[in-house]
Amino acid sequence: MKIINIIVGIFYLAFGLFLWNYPLKTLATFSLVFGLMQLSGAIAVLIYSFWKKLNPIPWGNILVSLAIGLGFLFIPFFSLTVILWLFIFSFLAMSAIYLQVLLKNRNQKWYMVEVALAILGIIFSFVMLFNPTVGFATMAKILAFGVIINGLSYIFAPSEK
């Protein structure tokens, strides 16, 4: 069983390195996968609604999910812009909330380092906001890093006996 984990881990590692080196393809693929997820979610809700005979059927949710899914599939680079804005503003919000929590709890050991990191996160959010290329590159690298870490976890997973 360990050999299968190693093979899968090597596949993930190779795929992660590919994603790391080709960020535009990474983001286009992410956009298409997100569109397919929206479409499949809308279809699943529709099937579930008819199967369980829900009354009223959530047509609003279904139509919005279908519109988002079709938009992401047919206009992938426009959808990348939407995903980028969501990424930037969530990054900014998390950094600001982290800074706010830190300012309330001043008696921590690494207080100044954590405050500096939170401020750097806020500054980097504004850099991404005004330079979308940096935002796209950051988003692609984070996705690639996640795939690489997943591959390493498969390779170094303990074997079952």
The amino acid that residue 43 corresponds to is I
Residue range 21-67, pLDDT digits in tens:
988 888 888 788 888 999 999 999 899 888 988 888 888 888 998 99
Q: Quick one: which of 131, 140, 135 has its CA closest to 84?
A: 135
Q: What's the mean per-residue pLDDT of the chain?
A: 88
Domain boundaries, the chain: 2-155
Residue range 4-25, pLDDT digits in tens:
888 989 998 998 898 899 888 8
Which SS3 state, helix, strand or coil, does residue 58 take? coil
User: Would you tell me the crossing angle of helices 76-104 and 132-155 to the nearest 10 degrees?
Assistant: 80
pLDDT at position 101 over 70: yes
Q: Nearest 5°: phi and psi at 105?
A: -110, 85
Position 160 scores a pLDDT of 66
Q: Nearest 5°: phi and psi at 119?
A: -65, -40
